[in-house]
Chain A
Amino acid sequence: DIQMTQSPSSLSASIGDRVTITCRATQNITRFLSWYQQKPGKAPNLLIYAASSVQSGVPSRISGSGSGTDFTLTISSLQPEDFATYYCQQTYSAPLTFGGGTEVEIK
């Protein structure tokens, strides 16, 4: 199975900050990497697919990069609605494993 490791597991940031979350796979997954945002009591919401393609409706301050085993989610200027938990997921091969999540909190 492919393991996905996210870091950090949590972070505190202020409005307007640039935030970066990383995700590492235990083997090459090319660009089969998605990022999701989840708010309390809600289902996850797809932000990024294919490592860097932005899902329709997602604000332009959110971007993704990477390929192979190392990936990054960046929020260029943190907004109040961005405080949530973020998960990466590899869709290269079953089981379609998720990272452990990164909780973004208000500083």
Chain B
Amino acid sequence: QVHLLQSGAEVKKPGASVKVSCQASGYTFIKYYVHWVRQAPGQGLEWMGMINPNGGSTNYAQKFQDRVTMTRDTSTSTVYMELSSLRPEDTAVFYCARISRSSSWFGFDFWGQGTLVTVSS
């Protein structure tokens, strides 16, 4: 069974960085892109970017371009999302989700459980 397991909640101070992990299981890791989505408290879903586990290429939303880094470790089927220069308005739940590399037609069919990142002094 497909599962995306994210790391636990984090509390960070303004200006710090956070690195969230997303470990995939139950499928062939390199056959699906992994995307990251942010959801601020009481707000909608915001696409942050994606990584191709087969090779590591990335595509970031312009809004996060200067602060986000997505990486992967194929030996553990894990994807990482690091967000730097955190500010209080970055407080949110961050989700990873997969989509087929064969076509984006199929949508985000599996999601991680979400990781709450709280930014507060």
A interface list, Cβ under 8 A from B: 31-32, 34, 36, 38, 43-46, 48-50, 55, 87, 89, 91-92, 94-101
B interface list, Cβ under 8 A from A: 35, 37, 44-47, 50, 59, 61-62, 95, 97, 99, 104-109, 111-114
Asked whether A87 lies within 8 Å of B44 as measured between CB atoms, the reply is yes
A98-B44 CB under 8 A given contacts A43-B112, A43-B113, A91-B99 = yes
Asked whether B44 lies within 8 Å of A91 as measured between CB atoms, the reply is no
Asked whether A44 lies within 8 Å of B35 as measured between CB atoms, the reply is no
| Whole-angstrom distance between the Cβ of B47 and the nearest chain A Cβ | 5
Assembled-state Cα–Cα distance A36/B37 (Å) = 13
Contacts of B37 in A (CB 8 A): 44, 98
Assembled-state Cα–Cα distance A32/B118 (Å) = 33
Assembled-state Cα–Cα distance A74/B45 (Å) = 21
Asked whether B50 lies within 8 Å of A94 as measured between CB atoms, the reply is yes
| A interface, over-half SS | loop
Residue of A36, A92, A101 touching B108 (CB-CB under 8 A): A36
Contacts of B95 in A (CB 8 A): 43-44
Residue of A43, A44, A91, A101 touching B104 (CB-CB under 8 A): A91
Assembled-state Cα–Cα distance A48/B22 (Å) = 24
Contacts of A96 in B (CB 8 A): 35, 47, 50, 104
Asked whether B62 lies within 8 Å of A91 as measured between CB atoms, the reply is no
| Whole-angstrom distance between the Cβ of B118 and the nearest chain A Cβ | 15
